[in-house]
Amino acid sequence: MAVVFERPHALCDVRLHYCAGCTHGIIHRLVCEVIDEMGIEGETVGVCPVGCSVFAYNYFNCDMIEAPHGRAPAVATGVKRARPDLNVFTYQGDGDLAAIGTAETVHAATRGENIVVIFVNNTTYGMTGGQMAPTTLPGQVTTTTPYGRDPKANGYPIRVCEMLSTLTGTAYAVRTAVDTVPHIRETKKAIRKAFENQKAGKGFSIVEVLSTCPSNWGMTPKESIKRLQEECMPYYPLGVYKDIDAEGGETK
């Protein structure tokens, strides 16, 4: 009988700790499908962050390194510079990447560091219980913005892909989502392209995936998807922000 669906080899056969309705599981799977399809698991090293995906080292079958909070791009740089033959990716959340790790992210990009960054943006600090993130939307209630994020006091959310697309060293910056089947397929294509870029030595590739956090948003999974589409996507438009392969390598 033909096998039509199976667990990617690169995804460990363990139970993930993510909450019901969270999209980390889908994104893990997409990364692993790409690793399988490219046949690179044995020559790949992943770097996990501090945050919800802190235990990702137990979920990916390739060699894994746990980085301090925000430092994954620096750790990945160390791996890649020491061993350019390895494929290196980081898997980071928005607090990790866009607050405490801003310097490491921006400088890995501007160096054109030949790595892949998978950036999961759910507009909150999930693991610590739903505090304001650098990506939290204006008005969004979190445990540290109990009256809603007030830009006058807390500033404005950072649009990471837009920011990184201005850097010459960035090869590819794309924002996707996994709220619908077509979007899931686009996300996988983007992840594949990012890994192919690394193989071809093109430089820094970042795939930002808009994600949900039903637990900390205080919503059902269905309501979370609705919020993602109605509130997050307008602030964080999906699309390719930079692609050096596109005509002229123009930014969006």
Partner 1 sequence: MEKVLMKGNEALAEAAIRAGCKCFFGYPITPQTELSEYLSKQMPKRGGVFLQAESEVAAINMVLGAAATGTRVMTSSSSPGVSLKSEGISYIAGSDVPAVIINVQRGGPGLGGIQPSQADYWQATKGLGHGDFHLIVLAPSSVQEVVDLVSRAFDLGDQYRVPVMLLSDGLLGQMMEPVSFPEITAKEVDKSDWAANGTKMARKHHIVNSLYIEANDLEDIVKERYARYAVIEAEESDAEAYQTEDADIVVVAYGATSRVVKSAVNKARAEGIKVGMLRPITLWPFPKKQLCAACENAKAVLTVEMSMGQMVDDVKLALECKKPVSFFGRTGGVIPTPAEVYAEIVKLNGGAK
- Residue 42 lies near partner 1 (rule: CB under 8 A): yes
Q: Which region, judged by CB under 8 A, interacts with partner 1, from 70-78, 123-131, 155-163, 172-180?
A: 70-78
Among 36, 38, 63, 189, binds partner 1 (CB under 8 A): 63
Q: Residues in contact with partner 1, total (CB under 8 A)?
A: 36
Binder of partner 1 out of 24, 28, 29, 71 (CB under 8 A): 71
Is residue 162 involved in binding partner 1 (CB under 8 A)? no
Measured distance CA(245)–CA(203) in Å, rounded:
12
Query: Quick check: 62 binds partner 1 (CB under 8 A)?
Result: yes
CB of 153 to partner 1, least distance (A): 27
**Is residue 54 at the binding interface for partner 1, with CB under 8 A as the rule?**
yes
Beta-carbon neighbour count of residue 245 at 10 Å?
Answer: 13
Q: What's the CA gap between 90 and 115, in Å, rounded?
A: 8
11 contributes a contact to partner 1 by CB under 8 A: no
**Nearest residue to 90 via CA among 110, 107, 71:** 71
Residue with smaller CB distance to partner 1, 72 or 209: 72
Q: Which of 23, 44, 53, 142 binds partner 1 (CB under 8 A)?
A: 44
Residue 223 near partner 1 by CB under 8 A: no
Helix ranges, the chain (H): 24-38, 72-82, 94-95, 102-110, 151-154, 160-164, 181-199, 214-217, 221-227, 233-235
Q: How many CB atoms lie within 10 A of CB 247?
A: 6
43: contact with partner 1 by CB under 8 A? yes
- In the three-class reduction of DSSP (H, G, I as helix; E, B as strand; rest coil), residue 210 is classed as strand
Return phi, psi of residue 205, to 5°: -125, 130
| CA–CA gap between residue 54 and residue 173 (Å, rounded) | 23
Across 225-234, b (16+ Cβ under 10 Å) vs e yields: bebbeeebbe
Nearer Cβ to partner 1 (65/219): 65
* Binder among 11, 22, 52, 75 for partner 1 (CB under 8 A): 75
Residues numbered 106 to 135 that lie near partner 1 (CB under 8 A) are 106-107
What residue ranges bind partner 1 (CB under 8 A)? 41-45, 47, 54-55, 57-58, 60-68, 71, 74-83, 85-86, 103-104, 106-107
